Chains A and B, each alone.
Chain A
């Protein structure tokens, strides 16, 4: 019951936060120089006053800013994210179109980074000070420090251009007529490089964090007690150390999960992955206000949602947190 009330009050606060974010985003965006009518007219390579005026009227930009803001907020309260005049489609459709590709990429990267990161962290902590530990930590440091786009380009160069093992970009083979299982395999092949590139950074973060946290907890008194009881090393590590050491990792995973929907602009760009990150970036360049605001709002909602989920996971992992709250 207390959990339910806690969640409800969190949701109410979340709705207010979202509204504030929407207003803030709107103001920031309109403060940036340039507007979509001039960009669209500019791309045509010719424009006269009539054209700019027509476009502004169509986009609703001829109205005072506060009226535009009011209309926008009234829209999102009714779950209407507005219309992209540039792409001639409702924003919600544009986002829905890109969502599956983005979720496939970010979720895969998330799962890879979390499982491998924790496993390697535990392994490194168990072998602390040995050569294999140094090797793992060095590798993690490398992945942590390498810029993502460079790693992505190198991965394409090696695995796609030189070795020819994997496709270098795209979501699937264009015009292949694959269906069912063959299509799934095809998509999987295209997924490997971007998912690994995106996952490596967070894997390194999780690994370092797990390792450090494990080492810290392993000196605690209750671990000594467990050893004194005669429990085996693996059992102590799994039941006693890991369970207590995992909380910071959960916090960070919650943060990463919040970004799942926001997409990964760099990875999606280098690998031509048709996801939300690119939609946002391209809309930003074109000042397609409604689309950018829509992506921002959906991402913000996800961050808030996953914060709540993280809190619930805390309570499951460590029941003492629920009792205190």
Chain B
């Protein structure tokens, strides 16, 4: 009985907690790894740059963990029934960090001029856009040539960062001197960058949302060694380890400490999806039976539990379960070595060696490659591991010099943004490691991908993607591995750090520290 009472009290306390006012003030120290090459988000969009510059720059919208759009620079938006006109109403009284007024002209300049030139990923989506106009200072209209289903998902900060027109118009964007001291509209201003040590951001006192941000300052700390990053968290030097900053086997040790919390949330928008490219052009991997055998030979639950310390989910196909229009109505490849051996015997595999290229991102990936080599050799596939560094990996994959190669990619909330680019034949282009590197060529399915992208009704799109997933999973163009999960580790007295689908990237905006 006593126990029950205590529980009741705890529940009451928990319910009361949200009523307590958020407390202003304090400083956060967050690990950033590796050091970003630049903070000018319009020019550079790698992970570390997005992490830091996500506090400085803003897009028109942000996205919840359910991937639904929420207001950011735009306070409201409307999509016409024919799916061709997107009208955004911007917040009023927004100022750039240098004091200039932010207007709709900045949005037009950013999307139509600046990012069209510099942002490869956005450029693909902008191909659907007929015109971008600013009828008045707080209204922006995107007029499309044809409906593009995922268009409402392209306004995230890392995808379409709004940059200041008054600084960049008419200049050489890449060599503009202001790139070193980025000017945005975000909740934090750039203060200093001690190369090799830290990046210092301070509160934007004139931020357009009353009361935000709560924190006074944020330090992004550059610590190159993974073990040292774990130590930095243990000794209290840093408060937040964004996903992927420490090796997986250090995670349990850190989360067992007092006052330490962790969450796998905050990656829904990216939905990092890992697979092995199987070279569809030549060698054993060009035979669909071999590729299916690879799927059956792998024990992906074991890989998840041992190599990834239990983080993540086994992938069922090309679309992550976190991404819109996912379907699990597909052939499921369980661990079935007998079936793999049958398939190999049927195709007459003669033990020809296949080269496996691991991803050079640290110990976890190396071990993952070893686990898979063991799985494959159990059914008689002769695998050699072909190790290289990051630059070498980029070169080998983009020049198609591999048999099997690890990779993982972000999905950006929609199959038309982050999935189809790896499977349609128009994306077979040498020189880039992020397109249809495996060389999968299926014209019938290409038609379906294109059709699904330009449908307006979500129900129709779901039906189309269900069909695509069912077909492609049988073809095994690549060997899907895991939906990766990168836990964010932080002190429990930091509240509201991860509230959106991009997590820590825009986390400091709403975060506050309980005294």
Q: Are B223 and A285 in contact (CB under 8 A)?
A: no
- Knowing A168-B231, A169-B232 are in contact, say whether A274-B194 is a contact too (CB < 8 A): yes
Q: How large is the interface on B (under 10, 10 to 19, 20 to 34, 35 or more residues)?
A: 35 or more
8 Å CB interface, A258-282 against B: 268-275, 278-279, 282
Q: How large is the interface on A (under 10, 10 to 19, 20 to 34, 35 or more residues)?
A: 35 or more
Assembled-state Cα–Cα distance A2/B271 (Å): 72
Whether B286 is near chain A, meaning CB under 8 Å from some CB there, is: no
Closest to B29 in A: A174
Whether A189 is near chain B, meaning CB under 8 Å from some CB there, is: no
- Shortest B505–chain A CB gap in Å is 13
- Shortest B41–chain A CB gap in Å is 11
Whether A219 is near chain B, meaning CB under 8 Å from some CB there, is: no
Assembled-state Cα–Cα distance A146/B123 (Å): 53
Q: Are A48 and B194 in contact (CB under 8 A)?
A: no
Which residues of B lie under 8 Å from residue A42 when comparing CB positions? 390, 394, 398, 433-434
Assembled-state Cα–Cα distance A227/B506 (Å): 78
What 0/1 pattern do residues 154 to 170 of A give for CB contact below 8 A with B? 00110011001001111
Which residues of A lie under 8 Å from residue B224 when comparing CB positions? 268-269, 272, 278, 282
Closest to A36 in B: B391
8 Å CB interface, B357-404 against A: 388-396, 398
Q: Which of B196, B197, B225, B392 contacts A34 (CB 8 A)?
A: B392
Assembled-state Cα–Cα distance A39/B392 (Å): 9
Q: Are B196 and A98 in contact (CB under 8 A)?
A: yes
Closest to B195 in A: A97
Q: Are B434 and A45 in contact (CB under 8 A)?
A: yes
8 Å CB interface, A134-157 against B: 153, 156-157
Whether A115 is near chain B, meaning CB under 8 Å from some CB there, is: no
Whether B321 is near chain A, meaning CB under 8 Å from some CB there, is: no
What 0/1 pattern do residues 35 to 53 of A give for CB contact below 8 A with B? 1001111111111111110
Which residues of B lie under 8 Å from residue A88 when comparing CB positions? 37-38, 174-175, 179-180
Which residues of A lie under 8 Å from residue B123 when comparing CB positions? 48, 50
Whether A319 is near chain B, meaning CB under 8 Å from some CB there, is: no
Whether A129 is near chain B, meaning CB under 8 Å from some CB there, is: no
- Knowing A49-B429, A174-B198 are in contact, say whether A38-B394 is a contact too (CB < 8 A): yes
- Knowing A45-B434, A174-B29 are in contact, say whether A278-B196 is a contact too (CB < 8 A): yes
Assembled-state Cα–Cα distance A268/B222 (Å): 12
- Shortest B3–chain A CB gap in Å is 38
Which residues of A lie under 8 Å from residue B391 when comparing CB positions? 32-35, 38-39, 285-287
Which residues of B lie under 8 Å from residue A286 when comparing CB positions? 37, 390-391
What 0/1 pattern do residues 1 to 37 of B give for CB contact below 8 A with A? 0000000000000000000000000010100001101
Q: Are B235 and A48 in contact (CB under 8 A)?
A: no
Closest to A87 in B: B37
* Of B42-50, B145-153, B312-320, B495-503, the one with at least 4 CB within 8 A of chain A: B42-50
Q: Are B431 and A38 in contact (CB under 8 A)?
A: yes
Closest to B272 in A: A45
